[in-house]
Structure 1
């Protein structure tokens, strides 16, 4: 629940400001995910219409980049939440969420590196076979 300006004292104002900032950061993360899904979905449909299955890996990699950036924003919102967490139970929940998001981001980055390396190898192989 977001605090209102009528909260008493400076602490109440700080809590309210952090809650609004957290909400804004979460919204930015959600918008990034939405934008990535729209772009990837459009490219996917376009590739299907043109019958180009080779583009699917590039589409996955592009969507993964959007997801990774969005996860960073969501993790930032989690950090803000810990600043105003009322008790240990809330901090433990936020910590668990942060660990899960960090792990997701870590494995997503590994997959993106592998996908980029695979794309690079395919391009090199295609260029080598075209030259020979």
Structure 2
């Protein structure tokens, strides 16, 4: 077995590990968010109590997408063809756009949460 094949096999394993890490991060975030939403709904809390859950889920998604992008970059690290480079560019553009939109949305939600005055529920004591 040549050094080139060994390196290629190692990178393939690394790509798989990084992809799995990204998928696990996204899955953990989704499960956590779903569970938290169920708890909030069961307690009949205010709608604005969902905002922190949404922000945290957005962070999980952004981090998971970064891992997925890293795996795509690794995949093309060993003697890429022009076709693979084009695919990487398209995937990177899509994932970068998603991350940008998520980051903007998270920042906007944070700003809105910070600006809201604390108003108690009608049924709760002040």
TM-score, normalising length: structure 1: 0.84
Structure 1 residue aligned with 2:92:
98
Displacement after TM superposition at 1:119 (Å): 0.7
Structure 2 residue aligned with 1:84:
78
CA RMSD of aligned residues (A): 1.3
Q: Does 1:126 align with 2:118?
A: yes
Q: Which runs of 5+ in 2 are unaligned?
A: 120-126
Show CA shifts across 1:49-101 (max 9, x none).
11112211111111001001111111111110120254111221121111110
Task: Report which of the two has the higher share of helix.
Answer: 1
Q: Which runs of 5+ in 1 are unaligned?
A: 1-7, 128-132
Distance 2:58 2:96 in 1: 14
Structure 1 residue aligned with 2:69:
75
TM-score, normalising length: structure 2: 0.88
Structure 1 residue aligned with 2:8:
15
SS in 2 for 1:63: helix
Match of 1:34 among 27, 33, 36: 27
Displacement after TM superposition at 1:41 (Å): 0.3
Distance 1:83 1:60 in 2: 35
| Misfit runs of 4+, over 6 Å | none
SS in 1 for 2:118: helix
